[in-house]
Amino acid sequence: MPAPDPRLAAALAALAGRLERTQAPWWIIGSAAAVLHGAETEVADVDVVTDEAMAAALLREAGLPAGPGEGSDLFRSAVFGRIEDGPMPIEVMGGLSLRTARGWEALALATREPVEVGGARVWVPKRGELIGLLRRFGREKDLARAALLESLPRA
């Protein structure tokens, strides 16, 4: 994997520092996770998902309220906040749910693999699961990232 943009690396290291002593599992998803898997795509912010309690604690530690996000017709979070005090914004989502044909379903990631960035360890879903998640999000930018990941050689 090529080294990520220095701002992304610094944001991930700061996030890992905030989360290193937590017990709840957490994952980087979205564009940042795609980059960590080797895709060349733009990253505007870092998306991190965890459980509701951990998301609330992380936001409180950053001096932010820990309430529900506005969501969209595709996904919503029981706890959402945007930390903007670092090199790149970090969007924290706790209790993320996706809309399906059956209604709202809680996101349950099954895989978790470490990636070392700038001396810090962050966690991402395995490539196949990330591709599936991006496809479930269904937005044009997510589908493009899924296609980028699918085009990469197998690790």
User: Phi-psi region for residue 35, left (φ > 0), alpha (ψ -120 to 50) or beta?
Assistant: alpha
Residue 1 forms part of a structural domain: no
pLDDT for res 2: 52
For residue 153, the one-letter residue type is P
Q: Which of 128, 98, 115, 139 is nearest to 35 (CA)?
A: 115
Could you report the per-residue pLDDT of 59-85, keeping only the tens digit for each?
999 999 888 877 778 889 999 999 998
**Predicted pLDDT of residue 155:** 64
- Digit-by-digit pLDDT tens for the chain (155 residues) are 555 689 999 999 999 988 877 788 999 999 999 999 999 999 999 999 999 999 999 999 999 988 887 777 888 999 999 999 889 999 999 999 998 889 999 999 999 999 999 888 999 999 999 999 999 998 999 999 999 999 998 86
Q: Which domain holds residue 95?
A: 6-151
pLDDT of residue 74: 85
Give the pLDDT confidence score for residue 20 in this predicted structure.
79
CA 93 to each of CA 18, 42, 119: distance values in angstroms, whole numbers, following the listed order: 15, 20, 24
Token representation of residue 72: 């969209």
- What pTM value is reported for the model? 0.92
* pLDDT for the residue numbered 31: 95
Please, where are the H alpha helices in the chain?
A: 6-19, 30-36, 52-61, 127-137, 140-151
Structure tokens at 44: 């505007």
Closest to 31 measured CA to CA, from 112, 78, 91, 97 = 91
CATH number of the domain within which 143 lies:
3.30.460.40
Into how many domains does the chain fold?
1
Q: What pLDDT is attached to residue 101? A: 87
Instruction: Confirm if 33 and 124 have CB atoms less than 8 A apart.
Output: yes
Q: What is the DSSP letter of 84?
A: -
> What is the predicted pLDDT for the residue at 46?
96
* Residue given tokens 């509701």 in the structure block: 52
